[in-house]
Structure 1
């Protein structure tokens, strides 16, 4: 009396692939919006780190600005001179940017 009869739904055959199509669309969006730009940034940073040489002025991820005094080829470390009296040994991966020549003196 109060309960309606339940009948099986007859869905068209095309609806069976719509979840699969949506999954593929989301996968493509994820790839082009997140993975591809991140891989590009990683590749650019790796080439930046490999191109470091003595005399480059660098900015570290910690905010230190200095001049590269020594590059260790077998290890992944740099010696960066912050001023005439202070030198710091850092890992190459912590260099976030190479500054143009003369940037330290303009500060």
Structure 2
């Protein structure tokens, strides 16, 4: 008489069902985090890597430090030489280039 129907019910098979109900929310949270944070960041890194690998002499670039200049030499060791003023050249690490303002056309073999 004093026992409510909720207390009177048996526990049943809560082992498998309880585990599934605990894992599903965590899986959904991970999926949402991957779709909103991880995947766009990976895509952005891939685009930046392709941009840095495609640098050529004559491209006008902006570095992470805010320097705007023209690429005068592309070196093999991960550096480029950027001319920021007439006769003023600085060595810059390739990965610090944030954007390319204007690209030069590749030389064609006629």
TM-score (norm 2): 0.77
Deviation at 1:42, TM superposition (A): 0.5
Whether 2:73 is the aligned partner of 1:78: answer no
Q: Distance in 1 between matches of 2:90 and 2:32?
A: 43
User: Residue in 2 aligned with 1:20?
Assistant: 23
Q: Which 5+ residue runs of structure 2 have no aligned equivalent? A: 1-6, 104-110
Deviation at 1:31, TM superposition (A): 0.8
The two structures, once aligned, show a CA RMSD in angstroms of: 1.9
| Aligned partner of residue 11 in structure 2, secondary structure | coil
Matches within 5 A, 1:45-84: 45-72=48-75, 74-84=76-86
TM-score (norm 1): 0.79
User: Residue in 1 aligned with 2:11?
Assistant: 10
* Number of residue pairs matched by the alignment: 93
Q: Distance in 2 between matches of 1:49 and 1:25?
A: 35
Deviation at 1:17, TM superposition (A): 1.6
Superposed CA offset, 1:24-53 (max 9, x none): 101101110111001000000000001000
| Aligned partner of residue 41 in structure 2, secondary structure | helix
| Aligned partner of residue 48 in structure 2, secondary structure | helix
Q: Distance in 2 between matches of 1:12 and 1:23?
A: 22
| Aligned partner of residue 75 in structure 1, secondary structure | coil
